[in-house]
Structure 1
Amino acid sequence: MMYDPTAHLLLTPVDKEAPTRVRRLRRLGIGLHPDRAFDAFADRLAEVTAAPYSMVNFIDENRQFFAGLHTPDSTGSGSELTAAAAGEGAVCRYMARDHGYCPHVVVRRKALVLEDVCDYPRFAGNPVVDEIGIRSYLGAPLIDRTGVALGTVCVVDVEPRPWGRSGLETIKAMAAELIEQIHRREDGGI
């Protein structure tokens, strides 16, 4: 984990699996470019959870990439999320590894439910809180058949959200569904 001596909190977890993940993502041909199927999946995820933002997120050693993205303006670009991720109003699908909560989900290999990130000092200090205004997060890891955590599916909101057990079950089921799609793609079925 990275240690911030000014805040005395462990911020971004050390990710020893990153090189293996990157090799697997390259073999699968995902994680470098926007993908219409992943965008459609993110749209559906946002609809199912009634969240303004949803992502299919792949993570390498230094950054996160939203291969699938749903934003309130429904264009997948131009939102506060992508603009803040890129800095200076630029539009992109990348975010630094130390921004957001998905790197925690990947390293933990478990879903994460944060109904109000401000209730958790470890997560309240994340840059997405101040820079983007994120207040709630729900995410699950994408663990493929080789055992590699490729990334996450997640939803975020700028308001606290009572995700509850049903939210946890939903995000885990959606992650399992997407992994099956990735496996079918790998097997030549998509």
Structure 2
Amino acid sequence: MSYDPPRPIGRLLLTPEDKDAPERVRRLRRLGLGERPEPAFDAFADRLAEVAAVPYAMVNFIDENRQFFAGLHAPDGTGSGGRPATAAAADGAEPPDVGRYMARDYGFCPHVVVRRKALVLEDVCDYPRFAGNPVVDEIGIRSYLGAPLIDRTGIALGTICVVDVEPRPWGRAGLETIKALAAELVEQIERRESGGI
């Protein structure tokens, strides 16, 4: 009996087409979002990380080409990027820097924006569609929980997410929590737009 190793699944590993990107970019510009870090979003990311007990959390706005972490919590506490605890780091090698910008084909948030639904990946390696994403091998991400930020116009502006370098059993409670926090942040953005904050 012979064994055929699995072949790459091709399109399953690609970032989905984002037909709403031009409209999203116009909306983000009107709101003044997605071009600079903001202390309020960093504080929100800190809160996300604390609630989920994870090393990384983000408030992420996405355009046609990249993701921008307007809010970022990382283990180094700077909010300007961090160094995940990958196997390379354990061997003394320097892991890659994670900063405020990431290409659209890295990570899982672009999938959340296109799907317009929360995404729970307790162990990304269990999902062929996501296991081949560059953040798995290059950054060491093993677990993801994210929800879209859908504003009053119906546009998915971006996401909030938490990630870990170990598999995590998020469960129903994690899903409900991330969705509730996304709704809370959308309310803050809308109050800001109306001059409330």
Is 1:161–2:144 an aligned residue pair?
A: no
Q: Which residue of 2 aligns with 1:66?
A: 69
* Alpha-carbon shift at residue 150 of structure 1 (Å): 0.1
Alpha-carbon distance in 1 for matches of 2:97, 2:163: 20
* Alpha-carbon shift at residue 77 of structure 1 (Å): 2.2
Q: Which residue of 1 aligns with 2:41?
A: 38
Q: Which residue of 1 aligns with 2:88?
A: none
TM-score in terms of structure 1 length: 0.91
* Alpha-carbon shift at residue 24 of structure 1 (Å): 0.2
- Unaligned runs of at least 5 residues, structure 2: 1-6, 85-94
Q: Deviation digits for residues 144-182 of structure 1, max 9, x if unmatched?
A: 000000000000000000000000000000000000000
Is 1:49–2:52 an aligned residue pair?
A: yes
Alpha-carbon distance in 2 for matches of 1:9, 1:90: 27
Q: Which residue of 2 aligns with 1:106?
A: 113
Q: Deviation digits for residues 105-128 of structure 1, max 9, x if unmatched?
A: 000000000000000001000000
Q: Deviation digits for residues 34-62 of structure 1, max 9, x if unmatched?
A: 01000000000100111110000000000
Alpha-carbon distance in 1 for matches of 2:140, 2:99: 18
Structure 1 residue aligned with 2:182, among 161, 175, 186? 175
Letter of the 2:67 partner, please give it: Q
SS at match of 1:155: strand
TM-score in terms of structure 2 length: 0.88
Alpha-carbon distance in 2 for matches of 1:91, 1:176: 26
Q: How many residues align?
A: 180
Q: Deviation digits for residues 44-85 of structure 1, max 9, x if unmatched?
A: 01001111100000000000000000001111124126xxxx
Find runs of 4+ consecutive structure 1 residues off by over 3 angstroms: 88-92
Alpha-carbon RMSD across the aligned residues, in angstroms, is 1.6
- Unaligned runs of at least 5 residues, structure 1: 82-87
Q: Which residue of 2 aligns with 1:94?
A: 101
Alpha-carbon distance in 2 for matches of 1:73, 1:92: 12
Q: Using a 3 Å threshold, how does the CA distance of structure 1 residues 69 and 78 change in structure 2: closer, same or farther?
A: closer
Alpha-carbon distance in 2 for matches of 1:78, 1:54: 11
Is 1:8–2:10 an aligned residue pair?
A: yes
- In the alignment, is the contact (CA less than 8 A) between 2:75 and 2:83 conserved in 1? no
Q: Using a 3 Å threshold, how does the CA distance of structure 1 residues 187 and 62 change in structure 2: closer, same or farther?
A: same
Is 1:26–2:29 an aligned residue pair?
A: yes
Letter of the 2:65 partner, please give it: N
SS at match of 1:147: coil
Q: Which residue of 2 aligns with 1:85?
A: none
Alpha-carbon distance in 2 for matches of 1:116, 1:37: 30
Q: Deviation digits for residues 80-111 of structure 1, max 9, x if unmatched?
A: 26xxxxxx956630000000000000000000
